[in-house]
Amino acid sequence: MKVLVMGAGVVGVSTAWYLAKAGHEVTVIDRAADVAEETSFANAGQLSYGYTTPWAAPGIPKKALKWLFRPHSPLLLRPDGSLFQLQWLGRMLLNCTEKNYAQNKARMVRVSEYSRAMLQELHEELPDLDYEGRQHGTLQIFRTDKEVAAAQADVRVLQDYGVPVTVISNPQQCLDYEPALAGTVDKLAGALHLPNDATGDCHLFTVRLAEQCRALGVNFLLNHTINQIERDGSRIRGVIANGQRFEADHYVCALGSFSRTMLKSLDMSLPVYPVKGYSITVPVSNSDGAPQSTVLDETYKVAITRFKDRMRVGGMAELSGYKIQLNPKRRETLELVVNELFPTAGNVAEATFWSGLRPMTPDSTPLIGATRYGNLWLNTGHGTLGWTMGLGSGRVLSDLISGVTPEIESSDLSVIRYV
Ligand SMILES: Cc1cc2nc3c(=O)[nH]c(=O)nc-3n(C[C@H](O)[C@H](O)[C@H](O)COP(=O)(O)OP(=O)(O)OC[C@H]3O[C@@H](n4cnc5c(N)ncnc54)[C@H](O)[C@@H]3O)c2cc1C
């Protein structure tokens, strides 16, 4: 069958890969000059299988209120003038109950764990796929006893879900995982280590996977802005991009944060809000002073991930609409965390600064599956975890389109849960 994938981020390209492997004739359309140029470009680089957790959790509303008034806050809320922003926040708050949290978490862990399996399979199939990946886990560090005490609840949840975790009560032990913390370990109160987490450059991964897709015959139409999706009753008839019409048997919407705006003309109201985040990428000049893997600083909710000769430092959640302009204040926070934890690793003044829009659903679970249009499928809404969940989501959607029963339960992943 002919399948047209809209969007060449990590999610669209992963979907195209599995569709092509299943024997379909695949075209990917994107407005950018290359793949992974938007949110998949410079994320924090964590394959966070252990910390696959909904944002909406019991206790979050109280915490969020405190964060809003703190300097270097991980959370910022700026009214964007839309009713949608308020509705989205309201829906998110409704998900902060114990019951909803448990349901959302279970769904997300299912997709994440499947993605982990898919990445392992991909490593076996394409052992030379180089995306500066590492398999050294995540070290989550706490600076105060209060943070250590609060983490007990996380440990219980991790154990309930069978996620291996080491509780570190003597901060000196952090040096077993991250020797470069030697200069700052005295300021720490404790840590958790999640050995199953991995890291890698999502942009590089997507570029390399796209090369493999091309080798399977996938056609990438880059520099093509989709302006319109044409419908014919309950089916999609074609997609208009750069004034040209493209037709297929099936259409996949993997447009990240722009999925909602694009599908509005089809009278669909996707609950996907653009949650802005920031990162800096610092060239590593002193390898011994840099992290080995990901260090997650609980105080600022900032992650520092090591690639080959760079560090990616990412965080913050800003609910302020679709604008991606860079706010120098956010850079200050990211630089502060690097200078405190890894002061000799590299010069933050040489870092590149970036922002991206996480396509976030109120229940943090992506939208994967069918729509009320018979030949339109969704793979979007991956929020904070699109790099972690991309492969598994791509495989599930490819199976659904191919008429094959996915290897994991998928009926509760579709947009139908919001209808
Ligand atoms: C600061 C930050 C840190 C993060 N850290 C992590 C992390 O450590 N681990 C993790 O798992 N996730 C992380 N994420 C989340 C992750 O980056 C996203 O979930 C993921 O990139 C979403 O991928 P996507 O393919 O859905 O969207 P995108 O990568 O945004 O792809 C959508 C594509 O659609 C295209 N498009 C949009 N509109 C049109 C149009 N009209 N016509 C044609 N093309 C169009 C865009 O050009 C884009 O290429 C982070 C995000 C941020 C912002």
pLDDT in tens, the chain (419 residues): 999 999 999 999 999 999 999 999 999 999 999 999 999 999 999 999 988 999 998 888 888 888 888 888 899 999 999 999 999 999 999 999 999 999 999 999 999 999 999 999 999 999 999 999 999 999 999 999 988 998 888 888 888 888 899 999 999 999 999 999 999 999 999 999 999 999 999 999 999 999 999 999 999 999 999 999 999 999 999 999 999 999 999 999 999 999 999 999 999 999 999 999 999 999 999 999 999 999 999 999 999 999 999 999 999 999 999 999 999 999 999 999 999 999 999 999 999 999 999 999 999 999 999 999 999 999 999 999 999 999 999 999 999 999 999 999 999 999 999 98
User: What pLDDT, on a 0 to 100 scale, did the predictor assign at position 384?
Assistant: 97
CA of 11 to the centre of ligand 1 (A): 8
User: What pLDDT, on a 0 to 100 scale, did the predictor assign at position 335?
Assistant: 98
Specify the CATH number of the domain 2-40+204-271+364-418.
3.50.50.60
Instruction: Name residues whose C-beta falls within 8 Å of residue 223's C-beta, 6 or more positions apart in sequence.
Output: 31, 32, 33, 242
- Residue appearing with tokens 């299912």: 110
CA of 389 to the centre of ligand 1 (A): 12
Give the number of the atom of ligand 1 that is nearest the alpha carbon of residue 276: 53
Structure tokens at 342: 């890894």
CA of 120 to the centre of ligand 1 (A): 22
388 lines ligand 1 (CB under 6 A): yes
CA of 99 to the centre of ligand 1 (A): 29
Instruction: Name residues whose C-beta falls within 8 Å of residue 238's C-beta, 6 or more positions apart in sequence.
Output: 229, 230, 245, 246, 247
- Decide: 22 and 398 in contact? Cβ < 8 Å: yes
Give the number of the atom of ligand 1 that is nearest the alpha carbon of residue 11: 25
Residue 191 burial class via C-beta count within 10 angstroms: exposed 0-12, middle 13-18, buried 19 and up: buried
User: What pLDDT, on a 0 to 100 scale, did the predictor assign at position 150?
Assistant: 84
Q: Ligand 1 pocket: which of 43, 275, 280 to mutate (most atoms <8 Å of CB)?
A: 43
CA of 327 to the centre of ligand 1 (A): 19
Q: Which helix (H) or strand (E) holds 100?
A: helix 98-125
- Decide: 244 and 9 in contact? Cβ < 8 Å: no
User: What pLDDT, on a 0 to 100 scale, did the predictor assign at position 119?
Assistant: 98
User: What pLDDT, on a 0 to 100 scale, did the predictor assign at position 376?
Assistant: 98
14 lines ligand 1 (CB under 6 A): no
Give the number of the atom of ligand 1 that is nearest the alpha carbon of residue 388: 11
CA of 354 to the centre of ligand 1 (A): 13
Specify the CATH number of the domain 48-198+273-360.
3.30.9.10
User: What pLDDT, on a 0 to 100 scale, did the predictor assign at position 156?
Assistant: 86
Give the number of the atom of ligand 1 that is nearest the alpha carbon of residue 354: 1
Nearest CA to ligand 1 atom 41: 226
CA of 168 to the centre of ligand 1 (A): 33
CA of 257 to the centre of ligand 1 (A): 7
User: Domain residue spans in the chain?
Assistant: 2-40+204-271+364-418, 48-198+273-360
Structure tokens at 9: 């981020």
User: What pLDDT, on a 0 to 100 scale, did the predictor assign at position 70?
Assistant: 84
Nearest CA to ligand 1 atom 2: 43
203 lines ligand 1 (CB under 6 A): no
Q: What distances in angstroms separate CA 90 from CA 30, 95, 141, 260, 266, one per listed residue? A: 32, 9, 31, 18, 24
Helix, strand or coil, per DSSP, at residue 356: strand
Give the number of the atom of ligand 1 that is nearest the alpha carbon of residue 38: 30
Give the number of the atom of ligand 1 that is nearest the alpha carbon of residue 45: 8
